[in-house]
Amino acid sequence: MKQVVLIPGDGIGPEIAAAVKEIFKAAGVPVEWIEVAAGIDVIGQHPLGISEESLALIREHGVVLKGPTTTPQGGGHQSINVLIRRRLGLFANVRPVKTLPGIKTPFEGIDIITVRENLEDTYGGIEYYQSPNVAQGLKIISRAGAFRSVYNAFELASHYERKKITCVHKANIHKATDGLFLTVFREVSAQYPEIKAEDILVDNLCMQLVTRPEKFDVLVMPNLYGDIVSDLCAGLTGGLGLAPSANVGRSVVVFESVHGSAPDIAGKGVANPTALLSSALMLLRHIGLFDHANRIQRSLEKSFMDGKVTRDLGGDLTTAEFVSAICEDLKDEIPEQGESKAFVRKKLPALVLSTDSFERLVGIDLYFQNSAIPDQVPEEIGTLRLEAITNRGVRIESMPPEIDKIDVYCARYIASDSAVDQKDIRELLAAFDRLSINWVHVEKLFEMQQGNSFTAI
Ligand code: NAI
């Protein structure tokens, strides 16, 4: 018996988790569930969050099936999904979508796995107000984050003998951040010559997904694009009610449905358990129980082909009736006696960091809040010379008057000499203070061997 942690969650979570347990029991799956509470207490309706003991249990067992959990709006506990991902370092989110027999979809032959970086990008929650009218969010892409998700995508593709991986990005605009993700993708792809590696701009991908989705195989991308593109892929193959996922870390994998806790139908006995069941089948394949997974998969597909589906797919079955249909079909399914081949990821290779370094501090970008450009912005302080003032990244002298300016400007100072003297930065800030110009943040500009650490204006 393999022990697996089960988080039923809240809303429809307990109903669909019970459905999975019943189907596993009928199929004789050798899994023992260790149940852990998280989300909103179903009886008391108070927020439970997730306890330290539960996180320790998850770390100990390493394999989790998680039902959806409600995130209270405007207060209450933090999103349990975000908390689990961060606390357990679940660096990649894997979402396979496939056209299923019996499910009407606009296209045939879709079989796509999206792999989404899961911890970085704009999801780090690093956001500020620069002025009451201007909000800023930091998009962080690290070599480590990109490497772990890209490496996982290639390992997955290699294990399941997929032919092609496409890196999705917007490196023509996000030159540094998406540029780094793409660089790492190219480096890792060189280690897998048997898998065709391509890249595509995210906008072009979206257009092609809704015209020729069958041409894509495995997609790997930063967090935000992954969030959107994977839902698009789910929509192409029957909707969120069918979409499974896995959150992958070094030693923990959390399998869960893509949909949420569906409070509008919770307790009514009509929820479709397919997404959680399909996540559970991914889990079985992960631990090497392929035959059990395939047998349940065939019964599930037979129910679809017979038109035995829940309301969300146009049928009239309750959750219980749908589960009975699958369990009934299971009786006709002859268990396979094939070889079990668990997906064992090779030990994560050591991260190769860039050997480049910041050679020289060449200037600073100094952001200040003001309703207009002040009369007396310092032109020169020590080694620093004012090169340009920009608004939303555009030099103010190139902005036609009819274009709205925001109340946060950036003054770029570049070293007139060979390098910036650090004390000149402090003096420049002091000069802004004396002039009562409210500076809000400073970015240092470095020269590296392979170009600059900043973009030109
Ligand atoms: P949702 O996915 O829960 O529901 C959207 C719509 O899809 C609803 O009409 C719902 O009835 C329907 N639906 C979802 N799953 C279904 C199923 N299995 N069978 C039949 N119909 C289904 O999204 P919503 O309403 O935006 O979120 C509700 C709560 O879930 C929120 O608190 C949100 O934060 C949380 N959530 C949790 C997730 C997780 O735990 N992984 C993921 C997404 C949302």
| Range in 214-218, 418-422, 428-432 the model is least confident about | 418-422
Looking at residue 396, what is its pLDDT?
A: 92
Looking at residue 341, what is its pLDDT?
A: 55
**Lateral strand order in the sheet of 63-66:** 31-35, 2-7, 63-66, 253-257, 244-248, 92-98, 111-117, 218-221, 164-169, 196-201
Report CA(16)–ligand 1 centroid distance (Å). Answer: 12
Any domain includes 116: yes
Q: Residue 10: CB within 6 Å of ligand 1?
A: no
Structure tokens, 106:
């606009």
Answer whether 363's CB lies under 8 Å from 380's CB: no
Any domain includes 344: no
Q: Residue 260: CB within 6 Å of ligand 1?
A: yes
Mean pLDDT rounded to a whole number for the chain = 91
Same domain? 256 vs 365: no
Nearest CA to ligand 1 atom 6: 262
Closest by CA position to 63, among listed 289, 287, 243: 287
Report CA(227)–ligand 1 centroid distance (Å). Answer: 15
How many Cα atoms sit within 13 Å of 228 on the Cβ side? 10
At residue 307's C-alpha, the angle toward residues 305 and 310, to 5°, is 120
| Range in 3-12, 71-80, 307-316, 384-393 the model is least confident about | 71-80
Same domain? 144 vs 124: yes
Looking at residue 206, what is its pLDDT?
A: 98
Q: What is the mean pLDDT of residues 26-32?
A: 95
At 140 the three-state DSSP class reads: strand
* CA separation for the pair 333, 238 (Å, rounded): 25
List pLDDT tens digits, range 251-308: 899 999 999 999 999 999 999 999 999 999 999 999 999 999 999 999 999 999 999 9
- Does the pTM surpass 0.75? The reply is yes
Confidence of residue 71 (pLDDT cuts 50, 70, 90): confident
Looking at residue 295, what is its pLDDT?
A: 94
At 222 the three-state DSSP class reads: coil
Question: Does residue 374 surpass a pLDDT of 80?
Answer: yes
Q: Residue 93: CB within 6 Å of ligand 1?
A: no
Any domain includes 39: yes
DSSP 8-state code for residue 334:
P
* Domain end residue (candidates: 204, 236, 268): 236
Q: Residue 241: CB within 6 Å of ligand 1?
A: yes
Q: Residue 68: CB within 6 Å of ligand 1?
A: yes
39 CA: nearest ligand 1 atom: 40
Any domain includes 101: no
Q: What is the mean pLDDT of residues 42-55?
A: 74
Looking at residue 37, what is its pLDDT?
A: 83
Q: Which helix (H) or strand (E) holds 323?
A: helix 319-332
Same domain? 386 vs 404: yes
Same domain? 218 vs 262: no
Report CA(35)–ligand 1 centroid distance (Å). Answer: 21
Q: Which helix (H) or strand (E) holds 115?
A: strand 111-117
Residue 412: partners with Cβ closer than 8 Å, 6 or more residues away = 363, 364, 365, 366, 386, 387, 388, 389, 390, 445, 457
Report CA(141)–ligand 1 centroid distance (Å). Answer: 29
List pLDDT tens digits, range 305-362: 999 999 999 899 999 999 999 999 888 766 565 555 555 556 667 788 888 889 899 9
Confidence of residue 201 (pLDDT cuts 50, 70, 90): very high
Q: Percentage of the chain surpassing pLDDT 70? A: 93
Q: Residue 262: CB within 6 Å of ligand 1?
A: yes
Q: Which helix (H) or strand (E) holds 451?
A: strand 451-452
Looking at residue 241, what is its pLDDT?
A: 86
| Range in 143-147, 166-170, 310-314, 338-342 the model is least confident about | 338-342
At 51 the three-state DSSP class reads: coil
Report CA(179)–ligand 1 centroid distance (Å). Answer: 34
Q: What is the mean pLDDT of residues 133-142?
A: 95
Q: Which amino acid type is present at position 130?
A: Q
DSSP 8-state code for residue 114:
E
Same domain? 225 vs 309: no
Any domain includes 77: yes
Report CA(240)–ligand 1 centroid distance (Å). Answer: 9
> Domain range for residue 261?
1-90+245-337
Looking at residue 163, what is its pLDDT?
A: 96
Dihedrals φ, ψ of 317, to 5°? -80, 145
Question: Does residue 450 surpass a pLDDT of 90?
Answer: no
Report CA(65)–ligand 1 centroid distance (Å). Answer: 17
Question: Does residue 27 surpass a pLDDT of 90?
Answer: yes
Where do we find the tokens 């992958």? 248
Structure tokens, 2:
């393999």
* CA separation for the pair 117, 121 (Å, rounded): 8
Looking at residue 65, what is its pLDDT?
A: 98
Terminal CA-CA length for the chain? 62
Any domain includes 445: yes
For the chain, the helix, strand and coil percentages under 3-state DSSP, each to the nearest 5: 35, 25, 40
β-partners of residue 200 are 168
* CA separation for the pair 187, 167 (Å, rounded): 12
Answer whether 102's CB lies under 8 Å from 301's CB: yes
Question: Does residue 367 surpass a pLDDT of 70?
Answer: yes
Q: Which amino acid type is present at position 341?
A: K
User: Which residue from 259, 274, 321 has its CB within 8 A of the most atoms of ligand 1, so it is best to mutate?
Assistant: 259
Structure tokens, 350:
């050591």
Question: Does residue 205 surpass a pLDDT of 60?
Answer: yes
Same domain? 226 vs 121: yes
Any domain includes 347: no
Report CA(273)–ligand 1 centroid distance (Å). Answer: 12
Any domain includes 352: no
Nearest CA to ligand 1 atom 11: 262
Domain count, the chain: 3
Report CA(252)–ligand 1 centroid distance (Å). Answer: 24
Looking at residue 332, what is its pLDDT?
A: 74
Closest by CA position to 378, among listed 305, 433, 300, 314: 433
Report CA(262)–ligand 1 centroid distance (Å). Answer: 4
* CA separation for the pair 200, 170 (Å, rounded): 8
Confidence of residue 167 (pLDDT cuts 50, 70, 90): very high
At 82 the three-state DSSP class reads: helix
Q: Residue 240: CB within 6 Å of ligand 1?
A: yes
276 CA: nearest ligand 1 atom: 18
Phi-psi region of 262 (alpha: psi -120 to 50; beta: other; left: phi over 0): left
* Domain end residue (candidates: 181, 213, 236): 236
Structure tokens, 362:
């060449």
CATH number at residue 416: 3.30.70.1570
Question: Does residue 179 surpass a pLDDT of 90?
Answer: yes
Closest by CA position to 9, among listed 20, 22, 1: 20
* CA separation for the pair 37, 17 (Å, rounded): 12
CATH number at residue 80: 3.40.718.10
257 CA: nearest ligand 1 atom: 41
Same domain? 4 vs 83: yes
